[in-house]
């Protein structure tokens, strides 16, 4: 594909995880199309990769009712700006990464303006509110999906989709000995890794529950140490003997004998590290009741969804009990236990379903097929 001089590719992400994936896409696009201009919405990683940032993700990402309401004017202004540029013929393609609340609107408007749209990391309509499918069909010419079952699901509903593999396969991972050495842990330590989430509101919900479980595991001698995979700004009050390691989740995954994880992509990261886990999610009763009405799946852990069966235990049906979570977690902290060894075997099977490295490169290839 030969790009047209003077025209740009629009690349947009709306939150930190999208910035991480977007940086890899920007790098791949620059390598494949060295003369093309790349501009859009992103964070520091995408800027370092070579994106001309028009709006930073700190101006886009919002969580919670008041934050979302406050972000509406910014979203509307950005939408008008980008669509205006599309109508003026500036963009030969838009690559929109995750962040469906904004990108479904932006994609539909850009397509009406004559700009092809590739959405990378599709909204999980197979799990949540599938009635949005007509909106997605209007918003994208094609999807680049990252879970193995998604391509068939979207294809069957009239949305052209390509499975590009999971971007977690491209992350560098230390060995267990390297990770434990960097954390000052002995090779025979029994280490509990704690992953309460990446957003502050997630941490506030899950940290007290996860801390309670971890304190019990340490008090009972089930583990010799417990370590939180902390964020740069996350708060973990009352940690006591629990260590907090910030911005080094891959190190904690590699060092952990077993993990306690909030449902989400982290469960796949743990699977690729071969770390047995218990998945937990705590919500309010009102959120839980709404979710039960809107959900179309009976599992929330991506590990279990990819496997199509219960590979790891999940705790999310209210009330979530710290005691029950601890009872299931305890044998996983013993590397010689049947429970630990069986889960390691099943996790390897899940990892094998996630494709092969090179997701961003495949996204760049799809971009070339769509550019006008």
Whether residue 319 sits in one domain with residue 216? yes
Whether residue 362 sits in one domain with residue 332? no
Listing DSSP states for 217-242 in one string gives HHHTTS-SEEEEEE-SS---TT-TT-
371/328 Cα distance (integer angstroms): 51
208 found inside a domain: yes
pLDDT attached to residue 294: 63
When pLDDT is cut at 50, 70 and 90, the band that residue 263 belongs to is confident
The pairing of strands 8-13 and 117-120 is unpaired
List all residues 6 or more positions away from 151 whose beta carbon is below 8 Å from its beta carbon.
143, 145, 161, 162, 163
3 found inside a domain: no
Distances (CA, A) of 259 to 14, 20, 80, 254, 358: 28, 23, 44, 10, 27
Sheet containing 277-280, strands listed edge to edge, beginning at the edge strand earlier in sequence: 243-246, 225-230, 191-195, 258-262, 277-280, 314-315
247/249 Cα distance (integer angstroms): 6
Q: What is the pLDDT of residues 82-107, one digit of tens each?
A: 999 999 999 999 999 999 989 999 99
Whether residue 267 sits in one domain with residue 246? yes
Give the least confident one: 70-84, 227-241, 284-298, 326-340.
Answer: 284-298
Q: What is the pLDDT of residues 23-76, one digit of tens each?
A: 999 999 999 999 899 999 999 999 999 999 998 887 665 443 333 434 567 778
Whether residue 343 sits in one domain with residue 235? yes
Give the residue-averaged pLDDT of 328-348: 97
Whether residue 151 sits in one domain with residue 12? yes
List all residues 6 or more positions away from 263 whose beta carbon is below 8 Å from its beta carbon.
279, 280, 281, 300, 301, 302, 314, 316
Which DSSP letter does residue 5 get? T
Backbone φ and ψ of 226, nearest 5°? -130, 135
Whether residue 323 sits in one domain with residue 204? yes
Whether residue 220 sits in one domain with residue 141? no
CB 29 within 8 A of CB 367: yes
279 found inside a domain: yes
170 found inside a domain: no
Cα 299 vs. chain centroid, distance in angstroms? 17
Whether residue 330 sits in one domain with residue 255? yes
116 found inside a domain: yes
CB 230 within 8 A of CB 236: yes
State the Cα angle at 366 between 364 and 368, rounded to 5°.
Answer: 75
Long-range contacts of 27-30 (CB under 8 A, 24+ apart): 27/360, 28/360, 28/361, 28/363, 28/364, 29/95, 29/364, 29/367
- The H-or-E segment that residue 91 falls in is strand 91-97
Listing DSSP states for 157-216 in one string gives TT--EEE---GGGGS----HHHHHHHHT--TT--EEEEE--SSHHHHHHHHHHHHHHHHH
When pLDDT is cut at 50, 70 and 90, the band that residue 297 belongs to is low
CB 33 within 8 A of CB 368: yes
Burial class for 262, CB neighbours closer than 10 Å (0-12, 13-18, 19+): buried
Domain residues for the domain of 94 are: 8-165+356-370
The pairing of strands 142-145 and 161-163 is parallel
1 found inside a domain: no
Whether residue 334 sits in one domain with residue 256? yes
Whether residue 363 sits in one domain with residue 325? no
State the Cα angle at 326 between 320 and 330, rounded to 5°.
Answer: 155
343 found inside a domain: yes
Whether residue 151 sits in one domain with residue 71? yes
70 found inside a domain: yes
**Domain harbouring 314, CATH code:** 3.40.50.2000
Q: How many domains does the chain have?
A: 2
When pLDDT is cut at 50, 70 and 90, the band that residue 77 belongs to is confident
- The H-or-E segment that residue 288 falls in is helix 285-294
Whether residue 92 sits in one domain with residue 183? no
pTM: 0.86
């Amino acid at each position: 594909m030969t790009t047209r001089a003077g025209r740009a590719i629009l690349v947009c992400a709306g939150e930190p995880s999208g910035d991480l994936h977007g940086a890899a896409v920007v790098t791949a696009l620059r390598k494949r199309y060295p003369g093309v201009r790349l501009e859009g919405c992103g964070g520091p990683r995408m800027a370092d990769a070579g994106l001309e940032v028009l709006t930073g993700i700190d101006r886009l990402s919002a969580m919670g009712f008041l934050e979302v309401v406050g972000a509406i004017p910014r979203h509307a202004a950005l939408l008008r700006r980008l669509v205006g540029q599309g109508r003026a013929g500036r963009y030969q393609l838009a690559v929109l990464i995750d962040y469906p609340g904004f990108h479904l609107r932006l994609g539909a408007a850009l397509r009406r303006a004559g700009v092809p749209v590739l959405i990378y990391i599709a909204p999980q309509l197979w799990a949540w509110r599938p009635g949005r499918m007509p909106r997605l069909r209007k918003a994208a010419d094609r999807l680049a999906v990252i879970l193995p079952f998604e391509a068939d699901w979207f294809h069957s509903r009239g949305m052209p989709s390509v499975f590009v593999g999971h971007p977690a396969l491209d992350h560098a991972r230390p060995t267990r000995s390297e990770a434990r050495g960097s954390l000052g842990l002995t090779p025979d330590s029994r280490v509990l890794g704690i992953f309460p989430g990446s957003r502050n509101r997630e941490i506030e919900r899950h940290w007290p529950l996860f801390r309670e479980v971890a304190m019990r595991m340490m008090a009972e001698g089930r583990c010799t140490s417990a370590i939180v995979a902390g964020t740069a700004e996350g708060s973990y009050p009352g940690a006591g003997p629990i260590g907090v390691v910030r911005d080094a989740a891959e190190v904690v995954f590699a060092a952990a004998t077993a993990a306690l994880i909030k449902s989400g992509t982290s469960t796949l990261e743990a699977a690729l590290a071969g770390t047995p886990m218990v998945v937990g999610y705590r919500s309010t009763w009102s959120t839980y009741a709404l979710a039960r009405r809107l959900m179309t799946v009976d599992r929330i852990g991506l590990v279990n969804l990819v496997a199509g069966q219960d590979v790891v235990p999940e705790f999310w049906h209210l009330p979530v009990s710290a005691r029950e979570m601890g009872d299931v977690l305890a044998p996983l902290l013993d590397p010689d236990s049947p429970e630990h060894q069986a889960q390691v075997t099943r996790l390897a099977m899940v990892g094998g379903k996630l494709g092969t490295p090179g997701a961003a490169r495949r996204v760049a290839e799809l971009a070339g097929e769509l550019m006008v």
